[in-house]
Structure 1
Amino acid sequence: MALSIQHLTLPIEDPLLKFLLELIIILCIPLFLNKIKVPHILGLLIAGAVVGPNGFHLLSRDSSIVVTGTTGLLYIMFLAGLEINMGDFKKNKWKSITFSLYTFAAPFVLGFVGGYYILGFSLLTSVLFASLFSSHTLIVYPMVSSLGITRNLAVNLTVGGTMITDVLSLVVLAVVVGMSQGEVGPSFWARLSVSMVVFALIVLLLFPIIGRWFFKNVSDKISQYIFVLVMIYMAALLAELAGIEAIIGAFFAGLALNKLIPHSSSLMNRVEFIGNAIFIPFFLISVGMLIDFAAFIKSWETLGVAMIMLVASIGGKYAAAIATQKTFRLTADEGKLIFGMSAASAAATLASVMVGYNIILSENELGEPVRLLNEHVLNGSILLILISCTISSFISMASAQRIARAEKENTVSGKSEEKENILLAINHQSTVENIVNLGLLVKTHSNKDRLYGLNIIAEGLNESSAKNAEMLLGSAVRLAAAADTILKPITRHDNDVVSGISNVVKEQNVTDLIIGLERKKGFSASFVYNLHKGYLKNRHINVLVYHAAQPIATVKDYTVLIPAHAEKEAGFFHSLLRIWNISRNSGAKMNFYASREITEILKSIKSKVNIEASFMEIASWDEAEMAAEKVGEDTGLILMMANRGMDTYSEKMQNVPDMLNKSFSGNNYILIYPFSTVQDTEVERRAVSNHQDFAEIGNMISAVFRA
């Protein structure tokens, strides 16, 4: 069917042609700019300007562009909140507050001086004008995140400070708008304060409860993703009702769902993929469409306003970054990264400018409207967005790449690079998803292809067993792939399951074996026999026995029981790394119960590799069992166990399976059996000889996380 003449008119109205053109831009711009090492963010902004109303007018900035662009803006803020490590954030909250005060005050002062004393704006307009530069948009966050340094202190400070400084600048906007309309009074302040508190309580307290219930009861992957979008828009709407900008609502939604969407999960991969592929590029194109280069040729006043805006914004952010670097003794690259990430003005700045531009204070003698912010500020803000995003992209990527490279070099040069081959014993359809999700959580970040799924077909079974094995392993492969991880399926014919697993353990140099318990069966007599007489005979590997009563992402916290003298076992630190990974990848809090000696070790490691954790000293296994009895709903249980002949072994450990069957069938629990044979590494030689240098071990585990 031929295109009608309507399809060829400009701007393009046909939805097929519009969407096709936008997709071509999103596809081609990064491919071209990657070759010349120019950030694709800049390319998408320029492409938006070229095809937009102020360029060749191929596309109009209509409602379809605005809707998808708005989603992209909310997505950026949501991802920033979602990827914050709450343990790191709480640890560094005062540093984040300090940075936010620097990065709010420095541009504000410069902007007020420029507006009031140089441009001659009124006091009210000057305050709003100054607030434009105090906020910033984490437009480069997706690129920084892709380098794997989101837990770097500089990134953590910047992301945490963004929430505070954007809220402050938007509160200034709300106050100025109220004053311009004569609405400021005790009732105004009371209404604004109460509405903001109510909004924060609803999102941060109620959203996690709703999310936990939903993820517990709905396993459909598409529904889970749609639920996430609903939560983003719901929080954004609540923020607007509270009198603040929608982007703050999206950020709070990310904080609220932070622990329910593990960083290594398939849902997290889905959220990031769709956002970075569709919504965020559409936002960048929509911002680019606002750029009008002709405005600077027509009016020198516009150019002068733009120059003052650039000096106030870029200069202020640079001063704040340097002050933060000096205050907390960060490296030069970390200081540059803070400047780069905070230099971009887009979201809150554009929102404030549009609000100020749309407020008409009066009319002049020519009958023209006198606006709170005039058209020169509007056009200057567009140039500010373009230049600040350009500077932000180049400086952020250059410094982030150097930081990432330095961290990798530290890991490679150390002697502690963790080698892991994780084997998942997949025998039952009901346990496949649970085992794969646990495997994704316990693995280190850099491990993308050392996950194995094994199904044993006992000799003499019919052809249907082979088809069932293929189905189970295929399901496991797809689940891992959804989280951007390669799972290698292994089907093996053997005399029995136990011997088959043991043979694969040797052939694949397995370091960790994960075995799943069926939810309703728990520990059966035959499983306990196979565990002690079979699986634990592989003394050179960690064995994890996992029972899942609910999705692992919905577990709030874990009670971790570690027996006395566990630090003497060769596999203690390897097992501890698995526990640390669960916390870091899921955000769940770990409540450790251990002896004084072990508690000191745990605190030493936490000081280097931070997780959200508490530490309680216990003196006996009886006290450990008493702690386990306090486990409630949505709390998991992790027990570090021991086999006979190990220093940690206690006769009372024989009663653990019965205790779990009777009292913990409704909870998630993990039994970890550390390996006990001496391995040829520095950590394990020290562990066996009981002469560990615990600070060095903390550095080693820290290096593993940076890998």
Structure 2
Amino acid sequence: MENLLTIIPDSPIVTFTILLLIILTVPPIFEKIKLPGLVGLLVAGVVFGNDGLGLLNAENESVKLLADIGKIYLMFVAGLEIDLVDFRKSRNRALGFGVFTFIFPLIVGTGVGLFFDMGLNASVLIGSLLASHTLLAYPIVNGLGVVGNEAVVVTIGATIVTDTAALLILAICISIHGGDFSLGSLIVQLVSLGIYSLVVLYGFDRVGKEYFRRTGDEQSNQFLFVLFAVFLASVGAQLINIDIIVGAFLAGLAVNDVVGEGPVKEKIEFVGSTLFIPCFFVSMGLLLNISSFATTLTNDLPLTVAIVVGLFVGKFLAAIASKVSFKYNWDQCLTMWSLSLPQVAATLAATLAGVRAGLLSESVFNAVIVLMLATSLAGPILTKKFAGKLKTAQIATTPATNLEDIIEATPEKIAYPEGHDKPNNLFKVIIPIHNPSTEKFLIEMGAILAKHEAGMIIPLCVAKAHIHMDEPELNFAIAQGDKLISRAMKYSQELNVTAKPIIRIDDDVAQGISRSARENDASLILMGWTPITTIQARLFGNLIDNVFWSSHCPVAVVNLLDEPSNIRSILVPVKNIDLKIIKIIRFAAIFAEMNQGSLTLLHVHDRKATRNEINLFQNALQETVAPISHKIDITIKTLRYQDPAEAIVHTANKYDFDLVMLRSVRRRTAGGLAVSDVTTQTIKKLKRSVILLGEPH
């Protein structure tokens, strides 16, 4: 090994290459054995660190820089991902549970620290570490369709209270530890912290909104502005002697409303979760000393057990207090408890800050690592168990007679100015055409939908141009568009459907499609499949991603292997019964009705699900589709399978379905690492015609 180390040059490029190799290969391996990818990065840090292969060093300048950026990014994303809309819906109860789930663990943790003679300042800091929580199990409640349950909304909103309060206590404790404590210095620190928080939360919010308004669609500059904001906030935190993670978290809250749920936020989180945040977790592994860790688990085992048990007990007491105060049932109480258990983002970042300030010992650091492993595993498992029993909101099953009722995307009524009539409600399908080989299938599918609604199709060709309208490339693009439009009109006449062709000049194809859809008051955008083949598409999203983000109406993306008129049997996977899946079922039912076909609804359930739970779901689904079952043959199929994506592919191949209809779902974890959803995995493996239906943001 020593010979190998002498061969490898000691340069930042080599260090960065090793980090990229770890980030690329390790998380998928751990996810295959049902362990979080974050755990894999910690283990990789130990393996490649001084106690292992010795290829990485925590004191290396490149590692320290990437780790600091990752730590800032981690706390920034934690603030950015907090849903302020949900928080505002149940503000009072969220504040109440936030206080409960902060105070009880704080008291328990402080008691643990004092019991082990750590001093009041360090003990309070340990208590604050236990008080925060990371919504690691959010994808689980989202997948179960219970995000709208008040207990879940309250727990999500409480994250603002716990993380903010924990980081403020961290700032105060480190400040007290760094100098002579006095009431005057504490007051100065609190006042400066208050002024700083107001400047970040309100100043960054206002400046950000004005900048985004002025820059319009310039996503690259907006991305750079957000990065500048978070690092400026971190520098400001250092100037008033508080940890940089406090500034990063406040910056995340400040620009939360500014970026919204759009492509800029997607890019921000993609860059962080792909590169910088994993580097932070690898660096945490590098700091782990195996001999010291083993000593902690043997000599300091009581401390480790006390911290872990104290966390579980403190969070449980907070959930009980909320149950009594807000009259929740036991399923809601236990769901709140399990959701608030995981300790990842704020806890690890704050612990590292405490250790580097000399306030916390290495034994506490090792105990917190054990706490992170225990809660990141137990939290999601318990959440899946308890949240699955929550009652979901009742969904109206009133039959829809036309597609316009089904895919209506704007529930609120719009007030139009006096003298302006409401836009024509004629059903319109925008069909962007670019590839001659798929044009006929798209026009035919659009015609099927338009005929059912007595509507029309709008073949659209976008010619890309920037400033100069006399560019030869633009002339060529318009000529190609004319050919595609002529062919589209020919197909429309053959199919006897009304068509209104458009050639649009725009500097961005995705924006051109979305703008045309809005200008023509389209009801649906029907697109062909665009594979991700370029590096740019992987980094910044492909055409489909960008249309999903910017469109005002639903988007149906199709990848057809046969003519639409030949599609008879349709498979729709159903995980939960919610409004979005009902729209997809009815969309598929109309398509099946027009082709005199059949519809199969597939529910893949957990191996641990009881027969009674399966029957309850089947009955609820049967009741949901009852209004449309008299028009077409609908079959409900349930299947026990470990991997839902494999189950869908297996069923589609075994029963030779012509078409599989899926919903577009994007998931993230609050820790920053993206999780591949079932839809993504299914599309990769499926060799059938596919329709992917996405809702507008």
Normalising by structure 1, we get a TM-score of 0.55
Matching residue of 1:446 = none
Matching residue of 2:246 = 248
Describe how 1:551-562 pairs up with structure 2 within 5 A: none
1:76 aligns with 2:74: yes
The one-letter code of the counterpart of 1:468 is A
Matching residue of 1:49 = 46
- 1:328 shift after superposition: 4.3
Matching residue of 1:430 = none
Q: Classify 1:356/1:261 alpha carbon distance in 2 versus 1 (closer, same or farther; 3 Å).
A: closer
- 1:164 shift after superposition: 1.9
In the alignment, the residues of structure 1 paired with residue 503 and residue 327 of structure 2 have an alpha-carbon distance, to the nearest angstrom, of 46
Q: Classify 1:124/1:196 alpha carbon distance in 2 versus 1 (closer, same or farther; 3 Å).
A: closer
In the alignment, the residues of structure 1 paired with residue 276 and residue 287 of structure 2 have an alpha-carbon distance, to the nearest angstrom, of 18
1:161 aligns with 2:158: yes
- 1:286 shift after superposition: 2.1
Matching residue of 1:59 = 56
In the alignment, the residues of structure 2 paired with residue 515 and residue 186 of structure 1 have an alpha-carbon distance, to the nearest angstrom, of 71
In the alignment, the residues of structure 2 paired with residue 20 and residue 273 of structure 1 have an alpha-carbon distance, to the nearest angstrom, of 19
Secondary structure of 1:455 counterpart: strand
Q: Classify 1:456/1:22 alpha carbon distance in 2 versus 1 (closer, same or farther; 3 Å).
A: closer
Matching residue of 2:460 = 454
Q: Indicate which of 282, 288, 296 corresponds to 2:285.
A: 288
In the alignment, the residues of structure 1 paired with residue 116 and residue 373 of structure 2 have an alpha-carbon distance, to the nearest angstrom, of 22
Describe how 1:120-139 pairs up with structure 2 within 5 A: 120-138=117-135
Matching residue of 1:493 = 486
The one-letter code of the counterpart of 1:493 is S
Q: Classify 1:391/1:418 alpha carbon distance in 2 versus 1 (closer, same or farther; 3 Å).
A: same
In the alignment, the residues of structure 2 paired with residue 506 and residue 395 of structure 1 have an alpha-carbon distance, to the nearest angstrom, of 56
Q: Does the 8 Å CA contact 2:103/2:131 hold for their aligned counterparts?
A: yes
Extract unaligned runs of 5+ from structure 2.
409-426, 434-456, 464-471, 507-516, 526-547, 555-577, 580-624, 629-693
Q: Indicate which of 201, 205, 214 corresponds to 1:204.
A: 201
In the alignment, the residues of structure 2 paired with residue 468 and residue 163 of structure 1 have an alpha-carbon distance, to the nearest angstrom, of 50
Q: How many residues align?
A: 475
Matching residue of 1:468 = 477
In the alignment, the residues of structure 1 paired with residue 10 and residue 219 of structure 2 have an alpha-carbon distance, to the nearest angstrom, of 34
Residues 91-138 of structure 1 show CA distances to partners (whole Å, capped at 9, x for unaligned) of 22212211221211221222232232x323433443333333222345
The one-letter code of the counterpart of 1:197 is G
Extract unaligned runs of 5+ from structure 1.
360-370, 428-450, 458-462, 474-489, 519-530, 545-577, 585-607, 610-679, 684-703
Residues 434-476 of structure 1 show CA distances to partners (whole Å, capped at 9, x for unaligned) of xxxxxxxxxxxxxxxxx9872399xxxxx99884358989xxx
In the alignment, the residues of structure 2 paired with residue 203 and residue 250 of structure 1 have an alpha-carbon distance, to the nearest angstrom, of 10
Q: Does the 8 Å CA contact 2:69/2:276 hold for their aligned counterparts?
A: yes
The one-letter code of the counterpart of 2:61 is S
1:387 aligns with 2:374: yes
Q: Percent identity?
A: 29
Secondary structure of 2:485 counterpart: strand
1:279 aligns with 2:276: yes
Matching residue of 2:343 = 345
Instruction: Point out the more displaced range, 349-358 or 312-321.
Output: 349-358
In the alignment, the residues of structure 2 paired with residue 279 and residue 516 of structure 1 have an alpha-carbon distance, to the nearest angstrom, of 40
In the alignment, the residues of structure 2 paired with residue 464 and residue 389 of structure 1 have an alpha-carbon distance, to the nearest angstrom, of 54
Q: Does the 8 Å CA contact 1:55/1:292 hold for their aligned counterparts?
A: no
Q: Classify 1:10/1:179 alpha carbon distance in 2 versus 1 (closer, same or farther; 3 Å).
A: farther
CA RMSD of aligned residues (A): 5.3
Matching residue of 1:223 = 221
In the alignment, the residues of structure 2 paired with residue 583 and residue 199 of structure 1 have an alpha-carbon distance, to the nearest angstrom, of 41
In the alignment, the residues of structure 1 paired with residue 374 and residue 309 of structure 2 have an alpha-carbon distance, to the nearest angstrom, of 11
- 1:310 shift after superposition: 1.3
Q: Indicate which of 307, 310, 315 corresponds to 1:317.
A: 315
Q: Does the 8 Å CA contact 2:460/2:485 hold for their aligned counterparts?
A: yes
Secondary structure of 1:492 counterpart: helix
Secondary structure of 1:27 counterpart: helix
Q: Classify 1:274/1:350 alpha carbon distance in 2 versus 1 (closer, same or farther; 3 Å).
A: closer
Q: Classify 1:542/1:35 alpha carbon distance in 2 versus 1 (closer, same or farther; 3 Å).
A: closer
The one-letter code of the counterpart of 1:281 is P
Matching residue of 2:295 = 298
Describe how 1:593-608 pairs up with structure 2 within 5 A: none
Matching residue of 2:30 = 33
Q: Indicate which of 264, 267, 273 corresponds to 2:264.
A: 267
Q: Does the 8 Å CA contact 2:72/2:244 hold for their aligned counterparts?
A: yes
Residues 342-375 of structure 1 show CA distances to partners (whole Å, capped at 9, x for unaligned) of 323344444554555456xxxxxxxxxxx65434
Q: Does the 8 Å CA contact 1:84/1:156 hold for their aligned counterparts?
A: no
Matching residue of 1:374 = 361
In the alignment, the residues of structure 1 paired with residue 20 and residue 88 of structure 2 have an alpha-carbon distance, to the nearest angstrom, of 40
- 1:154 shift after superposition: 4.8
In the alignment, the residues of structure 1 paired with residue 240 and residue 347 of structure 2 have an alpha-carbon distance, to the nearest angstrom, of 19
- 1:68 shift after superposition: 2.5
Normalising by structure 2, we get a TM-score of 0.55
Secondary structure of 2:486 counterpart: strand
Residues 637-682 of structure 1 show CA distances to partners (whole Å, capped at 9, x for unaligned) of xxxxxxxxxxxxxxxxxxxxxxxxxxxxxxxxxxxxxxxxxxx998
Q: Does the 8 Å CA contact 1:422/1:514 hold for their aligned counterparts?
A: no
Matching residue of 1:19 = 16
- 1:205 shift after superposition: 2.3
In the alignment, the residues of structure 1 paired with residue 263 and residue 155 of structure 2 have an alpha-carbon distance, to the nearest angstrom, of 27
Q: Indicate which of 234, 237, 240 corresponds to 1:239.
A: 237
Secondary structure of 1:99 counterpart: helix
